[in-house]
Structures are given as structure tokens and as C-alpha cells.
Amino acid sequence: MERRRAAIRELYAETVSVFEPGAEATGHDGVYHTVDAILSNAPPSFVFGTFGPAVGHHGIGRMRWHFGPSDGQPVVTGLDVVEIVNGKITKLYVFLDPPAA
């Protein structure tokens, strides 16, 4: 858990705001609790992965991601959009893809 907190401090500004569908969080503790809630409710075999590299310019970046069992199809996919100031993420917007029909 301390490793996760250290990574959050390295990547995110102290005043970061996180916006997810139906939820918001602020600060390092908010990011930590958001990540913890996702991972603690998922099966142990679930992992996050990306569809290609993150890209960005002019202080804005985006990354397409997937989440699901390490040896199977993703259960959910989405897109994160971030604002970066002085090398730290200050805002994170999480977009979930609609379920496949």
C-alpha cells in the first residue's frame, strides 16, 4: 500500500481532482481511496492494461485502457484524460466505454 501512495505522490499534484461517472475525489487521499475501492472490489486476477501509449501535448494527455482478468477479455474499457501542470496530474477525467451489445 505504501508503494501505491508513493506512486500517487509522484504522479499527482496535492490538489488533484478526479472525475468519474457519478463520483469525484480530491487530493492524494482521494486518488488512493478511488483506486483502492476499484481494486478491492475486483477479483485478484484482474489487471489494468493500455491500448497503446499515452499521448498528449500542451498540458493535456489521454490514455485508452482496459480492465479485466489477466488471461481473458476485458470487462471494462475506457479513456482517461488528464491535465498536467508542472509535471503533475492536476485533473483526471475517467470515461467508461458503453458495454458491447
CA–CA separation, 18 and 76 (whole Å): 19
Q: Which of 94, 37, 99 is nearest to 73 (CA)?
A: 99
pLDDT given at position 101 = 58
Give 41's pLDDT tier (boundaries 50, 70, 90): very high
pLDDT given at position 15 = 97
Q: What's the whole-number average pLDDT of the chain?
A: 95
CA–CA separation, 10 and 27 (whole Å): 13
- The pTM assigned to this predicted structure is 0.91
User: In degrees, to the nearest 5, what angle opens at C-alpha 71 toward C-alphas 49 and 55?
Assistant: 15
